[in-house]
Structure 1
């Protein structure tokens, strides 16, 4: 008897995905220092953020297995000034029980391709918090290089935290 294997699908996010995306993100806001938000955004706020990404022509992806969203990733304009129009900053978040399966890497790799295909030329990662070694390793595996450290710029869970900046050029990326 053969065993069924679930297939992970990475697809464009839809507005109907936002409630699950908000639930995934709320875990990180409440329990970790990988985001500097201190109060989980409402579903309405997450919808507004989704609309902003889509309006900017940037990709917003979800990883789905057995009709369950296991993670999401998006690229958003780095800064609002015109000179930054081809540079995006991105985020990748996984359901708390989905780590260690390669889902984050798959999302980030597909986000890089989707961003390049939409004409973006540089991608920035801002890795927040302390002890976020998994994110630093993920970015290194996906071709990001260190661009600097902003020391003690965030205060969360009663301590000062750094942000590590990483960058990947999308020019000529495959």
Structure 2
């Protein structure tokens, strides 16, 4: 059984080294093969969680076999429990938070409704100007019309009330 523990430990360490050194190349070669595992209901099957669990199983099995007087079955059970505990810890402390922190710079015009911006090009009563709005980590300039039929000079803070055909319709922010 000690051989199986060593195979698990060495295999996990080699997987980690190969992933660190050749991760991008392998990702291009397999081109989305592991994306099936990243579906919402299979997140816990990420390679980091699985291989990490196998590696911990091997390492804990070796340690328990060598440094305790436990028999084979208790060593296997304790190693599996330790492996599962570490896998759960890795999943909840790393994999799941990283999935939730992915950011995108893309946005929809509908996402701008209700956002506050500032007029950069004056908006006449009947016509269009431009507003600057903060979106994510940057700013965007958008064509804007007036909802309240009043002139909005540059520097006026406004709120987006609606969007139509790629144009923001705004009103004065009070």
**Smaller-chain TM-score bracket:** under 0.3
Larger relative contact order (C-alpha < 8 A, sep ≥ 6)? 1
Instruction: Mark the structure with the bigger radius of gyration.
Output: 2
* Bigger proportion of residues as strand: 1
